């Protein structure tokens, strides 16, 4: 398993992205710290200097694991379950843009917050179908571009839709597509899952991406989660994807980035 670190340019201090500032600088910094890849979080992927990113990645011998789409929800309020059809279409279009850029970068695309919430639980199936329709459109593009989408299970305090590994696994089975995988996050799992290792095992080959953050959303080793057991479970199911660090940048971005990789490499060597 390879290690990736979240990077973002203009985001609030409270956002769970570790390295902040110009993307090219952060790619170099991640490489210097020993990471195998970066996870780029960007509101609109058309803003990225793709050729420059590829050039720096090649020079620094690092890759782009994934593109995060969540800032499109946070900043532009775009989602696949929005009551307004035009906004749902804009959300799908934004994800399509991510897919196109990801195809050039050799990356996957995370669909987390952009899937939206269910605004009226009395009409749950209707809104669930909206999300399904939007994802189906995105999957057509993903398959054409050879890009895998990762649908993230997110805790109940952020959404009321697809909170657990079981929820997400059940939802993606309707698509039966190798281009749609489950994305888990240990911070969200600590809230929603009774047994983190059991939830990981249940996803099996459907698991495509995982975020690591400790129970307090600080970098791994700063809370109470048993990452040794989590890593052993990932190895047991034959997980070959990235472990991506999506944590709060505390006590400072570079300190968190350095502390996380040191801790996780020690665990990876043990298992």
19 and 45 Cβ atoms separated by less than 8 Å: no
Query: Could you give the CA distance from residue 229 to residue 161 in angstroms, rounded to a whole number?
Result: 28
pLDDT at residue 203, as a whole number: 97
Length of the chain: 271
What average pLDDT values come out for the chain (271 residues) when binned by 10 residues? 96 92 98 98 96 98 98 97 98 98 98 97 97 98 98 98 98 96 98 98 97 98 97 96 97 97 94 64
86 and 130 Cβ atoms separated by less than 8 Å: no
Q: Closest Cα to residue 91, out of 58, 124, 62, 117?
A: 117
- The answer for residues whose C-beta is within 8 angstroms of residue 132's C-beta and 6 or more apart is 171, 174, 175
Q: Closest Cα to residue 219, out of 256, 185, 244?
A: 256
For the chain, what are the domain ranges? 2-270
Query: Could you give the CA distance from residue 76 to residue 140 in angstroms, rounded to a whole number?
Result: 24
User: What is the pTM for the complete model shown?
Assistant: 0.97
> Which residues are the active-site residues?
152, 246
Q: Which CATH number fits domain 2-270: 3.40.50.300, 3.20.20.150, 3.90.550.10, 3.50.50.60?
A: 3.20.20.150
pLDDT at residue 270, as a whole number: 80
Query: Could you give the CA distance from residue 189 to residue 67 in angstroms, rounded to a whole number?
Result: 21
Token couple for 150: 């990762």
Which helix (H) or strand (E) is 20 found in, with range? strand 19-20
């Amino acid at each position: 398993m390879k290690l990736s670190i979240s990077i973002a340019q203009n985001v609030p201090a409270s956002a769970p992205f570790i390295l902040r500032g110009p993307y090219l600088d952060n790619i170099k910094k991640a490489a210097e710290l020993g990471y195998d890849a970066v996870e780029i979080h960007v509101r609109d992927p058309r803003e990225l200097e793709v050729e420059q990113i590829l050039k720096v990645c090649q020079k620094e011998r690092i890759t782009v694991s994934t593109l995060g789409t969540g800032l499109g929800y946070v900043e532009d309020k775009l989602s696949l379950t929005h009551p307004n059809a035009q906004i749902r279409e804009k959300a799908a279009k934004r994800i399509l843009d991510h897919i196109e850029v990801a195809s050039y970068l050799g990356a996957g695309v995370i669909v987390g917050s952009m899937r939206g919430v269910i605004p009226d639980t009395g009409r749950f199936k209707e809104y669930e179908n909206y999300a399904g329709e939007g994802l189906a459109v995105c999957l057509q593009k993903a398959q054409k571009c050879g890009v895998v989408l990762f649908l993230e299970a997110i805790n109940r305090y952020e959404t009321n839709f697809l909170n657990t590994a079981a929820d997400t696994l059940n939802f993606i089975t309707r698509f039966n597509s190798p281009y749609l995988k489950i994305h888990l996050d240990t911070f969200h799992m600590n809230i929603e899952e009774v047994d983190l290792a059991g939830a990981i095992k249940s996803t099996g080959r459907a698991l495509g991406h995982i975020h690591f953050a400790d129970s307090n959303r600080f970098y791994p080793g700063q809370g109470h989660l048993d990452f040794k057991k989590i890593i052993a479970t990932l190895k047991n199911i034959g997980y070959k994807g990235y472990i991506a660090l999506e944590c709060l940048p505390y006590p400072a971005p570079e300190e968190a980035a350095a502390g996380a990789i040191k801790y996780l490499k020690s665990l990876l060597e043990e298992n």
